[in-house]
Amino acid sequence: MYQHIFFDLDRTLWDFETNSHETLIELIDKYKLVEKGISSPTTFIKEYYAINDVLWEEYRQGKIDKELLRFERFKRALDKYEIVDRKLVEDFGNDYVYLSPLKTNLLPHTEEILDYLRSKYILHIITNGFEEVQHIKLKNSGIDHYFSEIITSERAGYKKPDKRIFDFSVSLADTQVEKSIMIGDSLDADILGAKNAGMHQIFFNPNEEDHSEEITHEISSLKELRDLL
């Protein structure tokens, strides 16, 4: 039934939490943030993630641009500890953007399932991540060769869940939505976005979070794709 599979990248294949956490720990040590007043690396990272999630949602909605997102997320995190230092914010943010894509942790069964799928389907990426960053992640983690097209929101001109990024991706892959399926961890951006575009979906839900949406398929482990595809 399907010929083309479209994957999300972060939190679906590339282990965003582990890679981000490793990078933040390194930078907290490099910039001596504990000595500057943060309560603990763990608390700071938790607060940063909460801020980052809010700003990413504003970015998806087009309310802020990526430069503001990259600066403001660390500024707000440091503001909580009354650390006011623009250069520190800029240096920390620039180092994070440079170092985190170099991390290579993948989610369990990623390479195993990509090896299985590539002999049967044409594989692609659709991501809201930044153009220059996502290509580095794919290359350094050794999975770039699995994918025919890497479609970022910057390349498409639209962000998930906007129907137009899925339309763009299908057109770029020279296929139809009926021959395509989307796999991702975000119910709103990946799954409902694809559904709105008329594309079947597989919700990757490793934490088995409750929801009431009608979707095509749902899995808690990537290895379950063997039974579906």
According to the model, what pLDDT value does residue 132 have?
87
pLDDT value of position 64? 94
Closest C-alpha among 221, 227, 226, 181 to residue 204: 221
How far apart are the C-alpha atoms of 24 and 16, rounded to whole Å? 12
- What mean pLDDT is predicted for residues 83-96? 96
Percent pLDDT > 90 in the chain is 96
Based on C-alpha coordinates, what's the Rg of the chain?
18
Which tens digit of pLDDT belongs to each residue from 131-156?
989 999 999 999 999 999 999 999 99
Instruction: Check residue 22 and give its pLDDT.
Output: 97
Distance CA 78, CA 99 (A): 19
Which ranges in the chain are annotated with CATH 1.10.150.240?
Answer: 16-102
The span from the CA of 160 to the CA of 191, in Å, is 9
The whole-number average pLDDT for the span 13-33 is 97
Residue 146, helix vs strand vs coil: helix
> Using alpha carbons only, what angle is made at residue 204 by residues 2 and 191, rounded to the nearest 5 degrees?
65
Can you give the pTM of this predicted structure? Answer: 0.94
Topology adopted by domain 4-14+107-228: Rossmann fold (3.40.50)
pLDDT band at 190 (very low <50, low <70, confident <90, very high): very high
pLDDT at position 87: 96
pLDDT for the residue numbered 130: 87
Instruction: Single out the residue of 209, 204, 213 nearest to residue 108, CA to CA.
Output: 204
Could you report the per-residue pLDDT of 35-44, keeping only the tens digit for each?
999 989 999 9
Task: For residue 215, name the pLDDT band (cuts at 50, 70, 90).
Answer: very high
* Range list for CATH 3.40.50.1000 in the chain: 4-14+107-228
pLDDT digits 0-9 by tens, 55-77: 999 998 899 998 999 999 999 99
Spell out a b/e string for 194-226, using b for 16 or more CB atoms within 10 Å of the CB, else e: bbebebbbbbbbeeeeeeeeebebbbeebebbe
194 close to 204: Cβ distance less than 8 angstroms:
no
Residues 6+ apart with CB under 8 A from 162: 193
Which CATH code fits 16-102?
1.10.150.240
Query: Percent of the chain scored above 70 by pLDDT?
Result: 100
Closest CA to 69 of 141, 140, 138, 128: 128
pLDDT of residue 72: 96
Average pLDDT over residues 172-194: 97
